Amino acid sequence: MTVGSILTLLGIWVAAIVSPGPDVVQITRQGARSKRAGVWAALGVMTGNAGWILASLLGLSALLTARPALLAWLQLIGGAYLAYLGVSSIRGGLATRRQAARAVHADHPSGPRDSVTPEAPPKRTDADPTAGQAWRAGFTTNLANPKAVLFFGAVFAQFIEPGMSWGITAFIAVLLIAVGLAWFVSFALAVRAFSARIAENSAVIDIVTGAIFCLLAAVMIFEGAVGLLGG
């Protein structure tokens, strides 16, 4: 692989991870809970990406290119899981909004009041996730990420040359993993700079996150079904 090919692959990789998608949405959602959760979710995302990178370098991309039906099945499975994440996220956001409404009703019963005291943002109905829970959220979201499936199954395959030396293979893996790790962890930390605003709108973030996941799930399931039926 030439230096130009490596730089081209790196540019495509940066564009892929920076563009909004399920990984970024999940890190934002976890980061709304705590900085630790956001960072661990970012580490989970990159654990999944590292697996994709290593698997692709070891032949997964070529296998997916040669067997389109396998890619279609991955899209169906990933879409089903994204749908599950989406529904769970929407339910969590709606539960938080209902709790907030009950809290406002309890603190402001009907009848005149002499003064109004500013209210703190409502607490979430779910406790802050543990490091393991946040990591699993990022990891499983990445495995079901349609961008990851398509990127490594189609785009990445174009840069893998038969008979590449182990040195080049290791260099590419380390480069892509390091760049991805730097981006996702930096993004998770940046989310906390807006923690107050995010906390105030955590229920909306959950609902929007769920809607995005459900939309992506529908696209993945449709494309997977078309791939199987067309094959």
Q: What is the structure's pLDDT at 172?
A: 86
Annotate 118-140 with b (16+ C-beta within 10 A) or e (fewer). eeeebebeeeebeeebbbbbbbb
CA–CA separation, 177 and 140 (whole Å): 17
Q: Could you read off the pLDDT of 120-157 as tens digits, one per residue?
A: 444 444 567 889 999 999 999 888 776 676 677 666 76
CA–CA separation, 213 and 142 (whole Å): 12
More reliable by pLDDT, 205 or 183: 183
CA–CA separation, 63 and 66 (whole Å): 5
DSSP letter for 157, please. Answer: G
Total number of residues shown for the chain = 231
Average pLDDT (179-187) is 92
Q: What is the structure's pLDDT at 124?
A: 46
In the block, tokens 């499936």 appear at: 149
Average pLDDT (77-87) is 75
In order of 10, 53, 57, 156, 216, the CA distances from 176 in angstroms are 7, 8, 12, 11, 25
- Most confident option among 13-27, 88-102, 120-134: 13-27
Contacts (Cβ under 8 Å, ≥6 apart) of 71? 64, 149, 153, 154, 227
Q: Is residue 113's pLDDT more than 80? A: no
Q: What is the structure's pLDDT at 154?
A: 62
Q: What is the structure's pLDDT at 108?
A: 54
Query: Alpha helices of the chain — where are they, by DSSP H?
Result: 3-18, 22-31, 35-57, 60-66, 68-107, 131-143, 146-150, 166-192, 195-200, 202-230
Q: What is the structure's pLDDT at 199?
A: 58
Whole-model pTM: value is 0.62
Structure tokens at 111: 């009848």
Q: Residue 47's pLDDT band (boundaries 50, 70, 90)?
A: very high
CB contact at 8 A, 13 and 180: yes
In order of 41, 49, 138, 173, 197, the CA distances from 44 in angstroms are 5, 9, 4, 17, 25
Q: Is residue 168's pLDDT more than 70? A: yes
CA–CA separation, 226 and 141 (whole Å): 23
| Amino acid in the structure at residue 52 | W
Q: Is residue 178's pLDDT more than 90? A: yes
CB contact at 8 A, 184 and 31: no
